[in-house]
Structure 1
Amino acid sequence: MPAETGAAALKGRAEPAIQTVEVALGARSYRILVGAGLLAEAGRHLAQAGRPRQVAIVTDENLADRHLPALQTALAEAGIAAVAQVLPPGEGAKSFGSFERLCEWLLEVRIERRDMVLAFGGGVVGDLAGFAAAVLRRGTRFAQVPTTLLAQVDSAVGGKTAINTRFGKNLIGAFHQPELVLADTDLLDSLPPRELRAGYAEVLKYGLLGDRAFLDWLAAHGPAVLDGADGGAARAEAIARSCRAKAAFVAGDERESGDRALLNLGHTFGHALEAEAGMTGDLLHGEAVAVGMLCAAILSERRGLLGAADTAAVRRHLAAAGLPQSLAEIGGADWPAGRLYAHMRQDKKAEGGRLRFVLMRGLGNAFLADDVAEDEVRDTLDAVRRPGNMA
């Protein structure tokens, strides 16, 4: 990240064209803008989307010092009044207590329905702020400026908002679509490498579940997505392609009653791993999903749906990105399979008490299966317990 930060620094760079992704939801359709320098133009883009009287920015301590002043300046330049609430960083902020405090603050600063709640952060900020916007005065306008790779390709798109409980992740929430998403690739320059790798797991997911050509593209360009050595061009392309894939699922199945559930490839396993880890932030969501996607590949192979070469390809993709491939690598070598399965029984995709898993009939061809037995799940978890005993 250059030493100079803020709106002036971002405006002074010559950047490639901004890519636009449309999320087609009729009267509630919105745009995702992907590219560099968008933070400095946030006020102008919000005004074009329908100028709010006041914006309530929700961010966290990691963003407040480095980037919040630039966002506030951009809004002020567009004549938009703004107030800000700074949250503690980490998954622990997605709690009932944080949700209550945020809602009380939004009421205190008199945010009305036609004002706007603006999530400025990663997935935790987006989920929490979006849920607050969904219920505040029975629904308040909402927009996202995601600041992590994971949020830019996944959590900021599609309107899922939620908080965690002791029973599991994202079990209390609502669907509440944003009116605009600004994915500024410049913001990724300051992310720690581990955060970028975790976000890359969600990028890889789109190739595995429905786009073999994208998977092949990632095999060639994945390193550039992670290190940004090409000036951010590969990152922007990966984000735009991921958003287009997700937008298509959202447009066809907004409330996850059908095919949108395919976007949870690796997540039934992954959420169980996060729950067992305690949702403290020690295990990142993308790391859990990475192990979960490998579990889905192994389970698919054991059912005769996926060839051994394809499972090996999943491992190679994860290894090339520096992502974990075993429970031992995420501190879970001794986590009991039965307890992990108990976490899965709280999965949001479960119907009639039956778990649904996203499996693969070849790479790029995912489907939902609701006939997976508990012993299959236990055996799959045991297969990834340690690197040396993976089957």
Structure 2
Amino acid sequence: MKNYDYIILGTGPAGYRLAQLLANTGKSLLAVEGGLFGGTCPNVGCEPKIFLSGAVHTARASQQLVGRGIAQPAQLDWDQLMVTKKARFDSWPAETKAIYEKMCDVAVGYGQFVDSHTIEVAGHRYHGDKIIIATGHRPHRLAIPGSQYGHDSSDVLSLAHRPDQAVFIGGGYVGIELATFLAAAGTKVEILIRSDRILRGFYAKYAQAMVDAMEQQGVKFHFHTSATKIEPHEGKYLVTTNQGTQLATDYVVDASGRVPNTEKLDLPAAGITFSKHGIDVDDHLQTNVPGVYAIGDITSQKLPKLTPVAELEANYLYHQFEKGATAPVHYPTIGTAVFAFPEIAQVGISPDQAGDEYHIEERNLSGGSLYAGLNEQEAKLTLVYDSTDHLVGASEIGASAADDINNLVPVIGLKISRTDWERHVLPIYPALADKVAGLLKK
């Protein structure tokens, strides 16, 4: 059995960043991967998603401008777009594996705990002084009859041919984004929502505005509706719902959420505490077992499951392991977004969470020349101020919401006042950043 200073389970953004840092320390390091090298983000997540989003946004933006300077709107060719996407991304897992093999030792297979500091991979056992679990999340699959006929987000992001009809089950950010993409390409999309709203965690008013916008794009929503069965029928699929209805479709997408990759780890063998939400960690990202840590989407922490958060945690562990840092992990102000069309983005305190001690203002952005020129009639920005008139939260809906909110992340995180902004910053005009001073209180 070979001994290592560090064993990292998982090669996604969290594991990759930590391996990069530890590879330069001279310590022995083993990286373990049973799936795609690089994990979800670069293969079947944020990277291919934003790649596809570029074409989708361009097509939708041109359609908004018909009669306002655009004579012929762009038409999205899904099959061609997917060929272009595959040419860019299909080689990434092998390329990432080659990078790892230059950085450290690699074990291909799923790591399973034998005891608190020993893992087994493909019949071989390894001991690690420190073991870091970074195995991430995967798509949840509904436990209903016919679930095997459903597809997940990974399938959609590699779908070679566009279906004429698609039913999505779930209204989280993954389902909304992918439904937007297929609808833009011409697929007739219907979405089953088990509650009364989509995008929980985002500002409810803008989530409803997203529904309105998608309905105008031809998407049909079924609220208070869940799937109870999927079955083949005359070359299509029938989705039976709790409302007693049946929807005929060519393609079914199970977008019912994501779950932590814990079951193959045999965590009980190591005595590691975990739940359906993930692995429990303390404020130093250590599990209840000394010397065993967890970072990224696999943890049970109530944080956005985002690549930057995973990489931040990797940086933190490196400084703890190799630089003697002892302070608890600190999470900065975190911005999040849904890359549909329009986009929804937010940072800080949501207007839904703001109590009486906060002051809320909504700004209609459509009057500005930038948004008017793009025919962004529904672009809106809601701001949350505290009792000292400092900006503490912002939510936006609009085609450029993610970029716009990114202008406000440092304002909130650094507690920048209007005086500070005007003294130190002179942004590009005309763009939202130029208007930020007007959003800050004196």
The TM-score range, normalised by the shorter chain, is under 0.3
The structure carrying a bigger strand percent of its residues is 2
**TM-score, normalisation: structure 2:** 0.24
The structure carrying a bigger helix percent of its residues is 1
**TM-score, normalisation: structure 1:** 0.27
Please say which structure displays the higher CA radius of gyration.
2
